[in-house]
Structure 1
Amino acid sequence: MLEFKLSRRGLLGAATSAAIASAFPAPFVRAQSERRIVFWHSYSQKERSDHMRLVANRFEQANPGVKVDIEVVPWPAFPQKWPAAAAAGTLPDVTILLAENAVPMSLAGALLPMDDVLASLGGADAFKGNIAIATGRFRDQQISIPHYVHNRLLVYRKDRLAEAGLKPPVTWDDALNAAVATTRAPDHFGWIPKLAKGDVGGGYLLWMMTRSANGSFFDKDGNVSFDSQPVRDATQFIIEIARKSGGPGVTDYKISDNFNLVNSGKTSLAEDSAAIVAGAAQKAPDVAAQLDATFMPKRERVGNLMGGISVALPKGSNPEDGNAFAKFLFTEENYLPFLLTIPLFMFPALKSAEGPAFFDNPTIQRFRNVVDVTLTGLQDSTLAGMEDGLNPYAGPVFNSYAVEDMFQRILLQDEPVEQAVAQTAKAIEKVVGDVKTRLDRG
């Protein structure tokens, strides 16, 4: 056991220091010692990561004595990382996160409210449509603020559709026909869905197709409605796409593989945001010249899926500076330049950023149809599983990878679709039940 002894001189020194400290106001004392902000983000691309470092440097210069430490946390790792950090008392002060991940964090008591940050930015009306409320308002508190948004699209190769004598797909049947017609194995395939284990690609795609059939994973009260005809029909559609146009190893691809699949020409169609076109414009310009996008194929409607990437304030060790840094991310000098670090990758959440400076960008102009489809889709778009508002069960369900496991069983073990959907519904109900139990305890 360690013992600490304090001499009379040390005691007097401590008393003197305390007297000096008490003679000055708290902000003065606070400014004399270095204050550390821990900032997590998932912007792994060099352009976006470098910009976040630049913003952090600007904040440090404007706030002497503050040091911003940045950690890049990959998107798939976040749902596991924050609970571990919460248990260890090492949560960051500011984080970028998928909007749906803010709900379980809030329920766990791991987030600070952001109502004052929202007010400082002009309130919910300063943001496009209803996205500030739809993606960040939970139990009468603002738990996150949208940093940027995008919408899932069906990106296609114009040259391959033209060669097949086809127009951009509109319906499920159109999409299946296009996927089959643009498959030239083993050189390239029509549509390679992302169905790998440990990824949310299968869950997102199934939700979009279920939504387009006027179904959902949950009813308006948050009850599981997975074992339904719209889910079964959507599952069957995706299975046909995978078997008829996905090629070998179709169960191995993750969302992050889309860039390589598109840039290499391996796939003719891809479900993704405009970011996939942005990546091609940078890395594969010849391929990008052949890319365009349309809405995801519909049965009864388009199942628009919003990507909401948000800022939140976890309960870290420096809430005061963390709050100020969160506001700083949205200032004019930082926000629009961030959106244009990789044009098409990110779309404005703030209305003020959606002006000439955004639309006059050469890449935005070049792919204006992709931009217009994105912006139109965002008018009728929601987070996955949250079409009736923020849902505490959606994030845990998608992060359980139950849907991806279902696709693996169907494709690799020939499990019948109806049986697989019923079994997956039970797995989802268990996830929801576990969340409800934790809520009751809380």
Structure 2
Amino acid sequence: MRRRLLALACVSASLLSGCGLMPQDGGAERRAVTVWLMKDSASQDFLRRFTEDFERSHPGLDLDIRIQRWTGIGAKVQAALEADGEDGPDVIEVGNTQVTQYAEGGRLHDLTLEAMRDWGIRDWLPGLAEPGQWMSQQYGIPWYAANRVVVYRKDLFAQAGVTAPPRTRDEWLAVTERLDSGGDQGIYLAGQDWYTLSGFIWDEGGDLARERGGGVWEGALDTPAALRGMDFYRRLQALGDGPVDADEEHPPQARVFARGRVAQIVAVPGLAHAIVRENPDLEGELGFFPVPGKKAGEPGAVFTGGSDLVVPRNTDDRDGAVAVVEALTGTRWNTDLARTMNYVPNKKSLAQAVAGGEGVEAMAAGAARGRATPTTPRWGAVEADNPIKEYMTKVLSGADPETEARRASRRITELLDLGLE
């Protein structure tokens, strides 16, 4: 999108200071590829190494990496996709569940051909690949993933005589019930942790919403499968003192875990750092295992967060943009990023790249069965209103699950229909 002659090449000043003179390559034109990446997605050292290698192996291209903040990014990306200027991004990092809202209306390049021919689409993590699709075409290319695991206290497990992490959901319930005694909480699970609930619903074969056809969606919390998922959540949540009318950030569950005798929480492994900062006595006492599934040896489904890379339709350097996407999501730099940042790589076959770290290994095992929210551009309206949270609170407070599920499903349908007007 910014196609110009360069005598100087700099990575954005927000990343690196200083800029050295570049050789003129005999006067040949050099093109700048502008890349928007989110704050803290990659370290400055990673970006420096990647930039040096990319520019060395692509002599005609220079990288202009500009770091963005998540706050307000949706409106900023929408404006960039609709702009007709020459100073916008050629590649954008977006949340995996945001791709469809940007792809709608033809504002992103379709990268299906490259994905099928060169990029190993069949091996991608489903929680990144599926939300990157819109109308059966691939617009978002998986970059990195993170998902929830069970973080537990080894000392409390040992005191309860639990010698190994549970392998199935039934075992998990039994172990948690044993841990929930003598003033200890078997698990701290906030009543409105709808991301964790989603995994239980997916395990049962249900979903939060389903497509009726033609891009029309309806809420699906009232299906038998979704109700079974909610029932499991109810039974597990009762084995601790998590508030029924709040989510995992109110209060922050890391603080609750660190300050009390709580045996387990469901969280990303990185939360362990905050727990140990809050309570240094827990250094070395934290363990991790994948959220158990219904069968031994098969982790439960989990919500997969993370990022995809997209190429705006209004770029005037599609080839340069594709070269950046190919490099960042390819095996070499994707595994480097995963090791550097403790992420899950974008392909199931690359899970061994993070072997050796207990938390990341548990996360990678779960990511193989990861999912994302329904792939409709209007899902953001559901999260903003979030009838799922209200539904969970009412059920956990003793209301009839089927009645409340029907009410919540109708509200989800209304919110998804509003976007069609």
* TM-score (structure 2 length as normaliser): 0.70
State the Cα distance separating 1:143 from its structure 2 match.
Answer: 0.8
Q: Could you list the per-position Cα deviations for residues 51-83 of structure 1 after superposition, in whole angstroms to 9, with x for gaps in the alignment?
A: 235434554565577352322333x76556544
Aligned residue identity for 1:430: E
CA RMSD of aligned residues (A): 4.5
Query: What residue is the counterpart of 2:14 in the other structure?
Result: none
* Pairing 1:35–2:32 present: yes
Query: What residue is the counterpart of 1:340 in the other structure?
Result: 339
Contact 1:189–1:247 (8 Å) recurs in 2? no
State the Cα distance separating 1:39 from its structure 2 match.
Answer: 0.8
- Cα 1:229/1:331, change in 2 over 3 Å: closer
Query: What residue is the counterpart of 1:384 in the other structure?
Result: 372
Counting only pairs closer than 5 Å after superposition, residues 349-360 of structure 1 correspond to structure 2 as 349=347, 351=349, 353-354=350-351, 358=353
Q: Identity of counterpart residues, as a percentage?
A: 16
Q: Match for 1:433 among 393, 400, 417? A: 417
Distance 1:431 1:134 in 2: 22
Distance 1:146 1:282 in 2: 32
State the Cα distance separating 1:383 from its structure 2 match.
Answer: 1.8
Contact 2:187–2:264 (8 Å) recurs in 1? yes
State the Cα distance separating 1:148 from its structure 2 match.
Answer: 2.8
Q: Could you list the per-position Cα deviations for residues 180-218 of structure 1 after superposition, in whole angstroms to 9, with x for gaps in the alignment?
A: 734776xx744333566xxxxx33222212223333223
- Cα 1:256/1:48, change in 2 over 3 Å: farther
Distance 2:140 2:152 in 1: 33
SS at match of 2:40: coil
What stretches of structure 1 of length at least 5 have no aligned partner?
Answer: 1-26, 197-201
* TM-score (structure 1 length as normaliser): 0.68
SS at match of 1:113: coil
State the Cα distance separating 1:178 from its structure 2 match.
Answer: 1.0
| Structure of greater Rg | 1
Counting only pairs closer than 5 Å after superposition, residues 359-438 of structure 1 correspond to structure 2 as 364-365=355-356, 367=358, 371=361, 374-379=363-368, 381-385=369-373, 390=375, 397-398=382-383, 400-408=385-393, 417-435=401-419, 437=420
Counting only pairs closer than 5 Å after superposition, residues 42-441 of structure 1 correspond to structure 2 as 43-44=40-41, 48=43, 50-52=45-47, 54-56=49-51, 58-59=53-54, 66-74=62-70, 78-79=73-74, 82-83=77-78, 85-86=80-81, 92-115=89-112, 117-118=114-115, 121-125=118-122, 127-128=123-124, 134-150=130-146, 152-166=148-162, 168-169=165-166, 170-171=168-169, 174-175=172-173, 178=176, 181-182=179-180, 189-193=185-189, 202-219=193-210, 221=212, 223-239=218-234, 241-242=236-237, 244-247=239-242, 251-254=246-249, 257=252, 267-276=262-271, 286-296=282-292, 298=294, 303-305=300-302, 307=304, 309-315=307-313, 317=315, 319-320=317-318, 321-331=320-330, 334-343=333-342, 345-349=343-347, 351=349, 353-354=350-351, 358=353, 364-365=355-356, 367=358, 371=361, 374-379=363-368, 381-385=369-373, 390=375, 397-398=382-383, 400-408=385-393, 417-435=401-419, 437=420
- Cα 1:177/1:394, change in 2 over 3 Å: farther
Contact 2:39–2:68 (8 Å) recurs in 1? yes
Aligned residue identity for 1:39: W
Q: Could you list the per-position Cα deviations for residues 279-306 of structure 1 after superposition, in whole angstroms to 9, with x for gaps in the alignment?
A: 8799969545430314335499964125
State the Cα distance separating 1:29 from its structure 2 match.
Answer: 9.4
Q: Could you list the per-position Cα deviations for residues 110-169 of structure 1 after superposition, in whole angstroms to 9, with x for gaps in the alignment?
A: 3212235436744425x3577786454433422111113455433322321222234534
Contact 1:42–1:97 (8 Å) recurs in 2? no
SS at match of 1:406: helix
Higher helix proportion: 1
Contact 2:198–2:207 (8 Å) recurs in 1? yes
